[in-house]
Structure 1
Amino acid sequence: MIRKTRAQLVPSVRAPGSAGRQMASAEACAASAASVVSGAKVTFATLVLFATSTGSVCAEDVPSSLLTQPSLTDTPDGPKEQLQSIGIMPDVWVTQFYQGQTEGDGSKTWRYCGKLDVFLKVDAEKLGLWRGFHINVQYEHYFGQNINRTDFALIPVNTALAYVERDGYHSALSASVTQDFGESISVSAGKFDMMTLASKTPLIGGGGIDTFMNRAFALPSTGVAYTAFRGGAGDRVVLSAPYLIGGIVAIKTEPINFALMIADPRSAIDPRVIEHPFEKGLAVGGAATLKTEIAGLRGFHTWRAAYSNARGIDLEDITDLSRRPAPGSLVTTKKGFWFTSYAIQQNFVQSEQNPETGWGLFTLATLSDGNPSPVRWSVLAGLGGNNLLAGRENDRWGIGFFHFGLTEPLLSGLAALDVNRRSEGGVEGFYNLAVTPWLRLSADLQVIDPWNPSASRATYAALRLQTKF
């Protein structure tokens, strides 16, 4: 059924941002250091910190536990260990980025930015309450400037900073509760950070702070997305929401694990979604993961499907996607969208001592209705995992390619408006060096053929430093 409703449209692709200004003097540098950090100083600071950290391996006065403990403050019998003994598990991560575009038609500005993640997990049983109840809270704070939306790329090149609004969204809070029923069934409800959930995927994931940075890899499409195009902070075309309000039922069996999600299809970064959940419809999704072994090597096959009864812009009747509608104007919408995907992860090499440590192949193929979903299909594949050389087992690496096939009604509608666009694809590679378990230095390189055919191929490079306190 198609009817006329009010909706906001996809914002036009922003022009490239201007390059950062050089600081004229030491006084000017000190005055603006809180907002902009020059490339030379960030690179130098990163290298100094790296050299200092690796040099500490040989320092006799550094306790050996400092080089092996999972976080900087996770000392034996320290405050964190004592809190964990009563069921309170806090963690603080700081991830810094220095990223820029080296080739292409976009802005060549290099920018410094970062993200603070504060996690709190509570085990109710250890607190003397009932068994199997858990609370998970995650607070995120963003700082600095990122290069998303300063180029001609459709997909954000820095997922961790992709959902920061220009007009003030610099923090996000997610909270959920989980009740385990034995070892096989759990029920969770609340506001979920989908980037954090994606980071649990063995060979890929990462949410943009551990492994791949491009959104194609760091937050793969889930099919649970709102297609009314309110003007998201990260995606110029909606793929899936970074934050969701809803519930998840997980069932662990052998050899198949099942999951069912019911969620509000809108991104919960919008406060209205929290205040008025499910007012625009709901989305239902299911997943089945089959665990396999080939010659003793672990593998996973995951099939997902989702459907939402929310309304999205009818791409067969695009009037103008280049600007927001005038007050009182009507846009044709279409009710309902579906999505399905199939993913494979297969280890080629794994540790004999710890089968969860290894590297191998990952692939993901998706298919949607193509209207109102703007992405008809997508595919990604690559290699990634741990470096199993002696002493470097904690290092992570990956290389992969992706391609997003935009739906024909969207491309035709844009062409009728003299806006030429195409599907987008690219490749990305990274290496994440574990200086210690709590200090990681990454190098990342992306090459993208942007969805704007008039723009040339673009290359992005980045340094990423993560500290776990």
Structure 2
Amino acid sequence: MRKLYFGLLAAVAVGLTHTSRGAAQNPIAAPAPPAALPEGAPPAAAQPPAIPTQPVSPGAFDALQGITGCAPAEPPAPPTPPPFGGPLLERQKFLGDWGGARERLRERGITFDIYSTNVLGDVANGGSRESLQQRGRIDYLMHVDGEKAGLWKGAFIDLHAEMAYGTAISGYTGALEPASIAQILPTPNGYVGALTGVKFTQALSERLITFVGKINTAEAFNQPFTGGALGIDGFLNGGLTIPAVLVRTIPYSTYGAGFAYLKGADPVFSFSIFDANNTPTRDGFDTFFDNGVVFVPQINVPTKFFGLPGHQGITGSYSTKRYGIIDRTAFINPILGLAAPTKSGSWALTYNFDQTLYAAPDNPKRSWGTFGNLGLADQNPSPFRWFANIGFGGSSPIASRKLDTFGVGYYYLGLNNALQNLAPRVLPFRDHEQGVELFYNCAVTRWCHITPDVQFVIPAQKRADALTVFGLRAKIDF
């Protein structure tokens, strides 16, 4: 208990100190908070708010997430965005309005967001080795409304830069799914800076949009009630944020292009093409589409079961790249010390859903509901044959805690025989991995959020015991 108690205190302190230092060292500025988007901008053009409320994004993989909020034919007048300034404990951002600069920039179509997320992880028992580790990240985002900025109507530009520091706890668990996906992106260890997203979007009509650029695909996967695939607002474990069968084929940060056909604010059909190379920490021009291409089609149908919003969808992926079954993927803990033959082509198919179960009568954006994914992939070179998860989450049911969120979820990961038989004496695997996670995201203020988290996992590696991981996440929105 003493170890965990001091760990909780340390996480808050480290979050504050690292954030200040990191922001000073990296001059890149960026983010566009959804609450502060200029009129006419797609509502999902930036990261989800620090405390997510009623989700507006589709429940499937959507590399178009940052651009799929095109307005309907006769949209209602948009609400006035909240001010950046105000009393310290009531403002949206810790640094406020920057002396009025933020508000003036927003009027000209440019919005910024900067937030720091620090995660303290403790393998309390089991796993490969008991350990207490801290790793943090700073995300910089910028959103430009082209029309307001003096370009042309329907044009949008989004940039995403990030820094990471410290050591991820996932290397001590013996699991393939990372205990904290926020800690392993863009890389799992060491101090690193990366420009992971530079996206240009053009709305061709009220129902058809296109995009091109360097795409941050984790930012794009924002399934309702999960908190998003970056692991900075909701679930920490990768098994509850993105279907594992997709991670063999889909890079974290890569060049791509695509389009989406919209119904209201939802992309009912989208198609994306990506470079198969993962290039988060370099420009990638030297390997531009030199090792295959990835195709990602998606069908996403909005629903109204029980009179409440939801989605039913199917996502597919196919890559022409040549893979080994243990090749590194950005979203899964690395498998080291083995060599494997390579094979061209890999595919995956997933079914996904989300469904609101409760919405507050006085504020429909305060809601909670359920989500799930069921996936299948090839037997080789994908290391995973089956994947499933299911969970509940959303706004806190405690009436007095309107900015808090919660989540509880379960995942199951079935391994392919090709991986189990690769080197059973050197690195023996079970035929599956499974885990449960619970978290409660507490809003200390609108710009500061503390999230205690606990996970119970049966890892894929046989040499690692069933484990308990305690986590504490501190996020500050600047």
SS state at 1:404 partner? strand
How big is the alpha-carbon RMSD for the aligned residues of Structure 1 and Structure 2?
Answer: 2.8
In structure 2, how many angstroms separate the alpha carbons of the residues matched to 1:397 and 1:98?
18
In structure 1, how many angstroms separate the alpha carbons of the residues matched to 2:369 and 2:420?
36
Match of 1:39 in 2: 7
Q: Which moved more, 1:139-148 or 1:423-432?
A: 139-148
Match of 2:108 in 1: 86
In structure 2, how many angstroms separate the alpha carbons of the residues matched to 1:188 and 1:256?
13
Match of 1:363 in 2: 372
Say whether the 8 Å CA contact 1:100–1:147 is kept in structure 2. Answer: yes
Q: Which moved more, 1:427-436 or 1:452-461?
A: 452-461
Match of 1:223 in 2: 246
1:443 and 2:452 aligned:
yes
Q: Residue 377 of structure 1: which of 375, 386, 390 is its match? A: 386
Q: Residue 192 of structure 1: which of 199, 215, 219 is its match? A: 215
Say whether the 8 Å CA contact 1:303–1:342 is kept in structure 2. Answer: yes
Say whether the 8 Å CA contact 2:322–2:345 is kept in structure 1. Answer: yes
1:261 and 2:272 aligned:
yes
In structure 1, how many angstroms separate the alpha carbons of the residues matched to 2:342 and 2:244?
22
SS state at 2:434 partner? strand
How far 1:225 sits from its partner (Å)? 3.4
In structure 2, relative to structure 1, the CA distance for the partners of 1:450 and 1:134 (3 Å cut) is same
Which structure's CA Rg is the greater one?
A: 1
SS state at 2:364 partner? coil
Say whether the 8 Å CA contact 2:179–2:236 is kept in structure 1. Answer: yes
Say whether the 8 Å CA contact 2:90–2:446 is kept in structure 1. Answer: yes
Match of 1:59 in 2: none
SS state at 1:308 partner? strand
Q: Residue 262 of structure 2: which of 224, 228, 252 is its match? A: 252
Q: Which moved more, 1:421-430 or 1:378-387?
A: 421-430
**Deviation readout 1:180-215 (Å, 9 max, x if unpaired):** 1232222111122222112x3221142111000111
How far 1:276 sits from its partner (Å)? 1.8
Report the residue type matching 1:39 in the other structure: G
In structure 2, relative to structure 1, the CA distance for the partners of 1:256 and 1:125 (3 Å cut) is closer
How far 1:256 sits from its partner (Å)? 6.3
Q: Residue 208 of structure 1: which of 231, 249, 255 is its match? A: 231
Report the residue type matching 1:280 in the other structure: N
Say whether the 8 Å CA contact 2:15–2:118 is kept in structure 1. Answer: no
**Deviation readout 1:134-183 (Å, 9 max, x if unpaired):** 11111111122221212311111111111354785611112111111232
1:243 and 2:211 aligned:
no
In structure 2, relative to structure 1, the CA distance for the partners of 1:302 and 1:357 (3 Å cut) is farther
Report the residue type matching 2:286 in the other structure: E
**Deviation readout 1:95-133 (Å, 9 max, x if unpaired):** 122211111143322122211111111111111211111
Say whether the 8 Å CA contact 2:258–2:271 is kept in structure 1. Answer: yes
How far 1:66 sits from its partner (Å)? 3.9
Say whether the 8 Å CA contact 2:254–2:276 is kept in structure 1. Answer: yes
Q: How many residues align?
A: 396
How far 1:241 sits from its partner (Å)? 2.5
How far 1:393 sits from its partner (Å)? 2.3
Say whether the 8 Å CA contact 1:68–1:437 is kept in structure 2. Answer: yes
| Identical counterparts, % of pairs | 29
The residue correspondences of 1:43-58 to structure 2 (distance < 5 A) are: 45=13
How far 1:307 sits from its partner (Å)? 1.3
SS state at 1:355 partner? strand
How far 1:65 sits from its partner (Å)? 4.8
How far 1:416 sits from its partner (Å)? 6.9
Report the residue type matching 2:378 in the other structure: D
Report the residue type matching 2:337 in the other structure: R
In structure 2, how many angstroms separate the alpha carbons of the residues matched to 1:404 and 1:75?
45
SS state at 1:414 partner? coil
The residue correspondences of 1:80-229 to structure 2 (distance < 5 A) are: 80-163=102-185, 165=187, 170-173=192-195, 174-198=197-221, 200-206=222-228, 207-221=230-244, 223=246, 225-226=248-249
Unaligned runs of 5+ in 1: 1-21, 23-37, 50-62, 227-239, 316-320, 326-330
In structure 1, how many angstroms separate the alpha carbons of the residues matched to 2:257 and 2:150?
26
**Deviation readout 1:209-240 (Å, 9 max, x if unpaired):** 100011112333473634xxxxxxxxxxxxx4
Report the residue type matching 2:208 in the other structure: I
Say whether the 8 Å CA contact 1:432–1:441 is kept in structure 2. Answer: yes
Match of 1:427 in 2: 436
In structure 1, how many angstroms separate the alpha carbons of the residues matched to 2:247 and 2:461?
26
SS state at 1:149 partner? helix
TM-score w.r.t. length of structure 2: 0.76
In structure 2, relative to structure 1, the CA distance for the partners of 1:153 and 1:258 (3 Å cut) is same
In structure 2, relative to structure 1, the CA distance for the partners of 1:146 and 1:334 (3 Å cut) is closer
In structure 2, relative to structure 1, the CA distance for the partners of 1:418 and 1:138 (3 Å cut) is closer
In structure 2, relative to structure 1, the CA distance for the partners of 1:244 and 1:169 (3 Å cut) is farther
How far 1:89 sits from its partner (Å)? 0.5
In structure 2, relative to structure 1, the CA distance for the partners of 1:373 and 1:302 (3 Å cut) is same
Unaligned runs of 5+ in 2: 18-84, 327-334
In structure 1, how many angstroms separate the alpha carbons of the residues matched to 2:166 and 2:350?
35
Match of 1:16 in 2: none
Match of 2:424 in 1: 415
In structure 1, how many angstroms separate the alpha carbons of the residues matched to 2:267 and 2:165?
41
TM-score w.r.t. length of structure 1: 0.77
Match of 1:455 in 2: 464
In structure 2, relative to structure 1, the CA distance for the partners of 1:45 and 1:186 (3 Å cut) is same
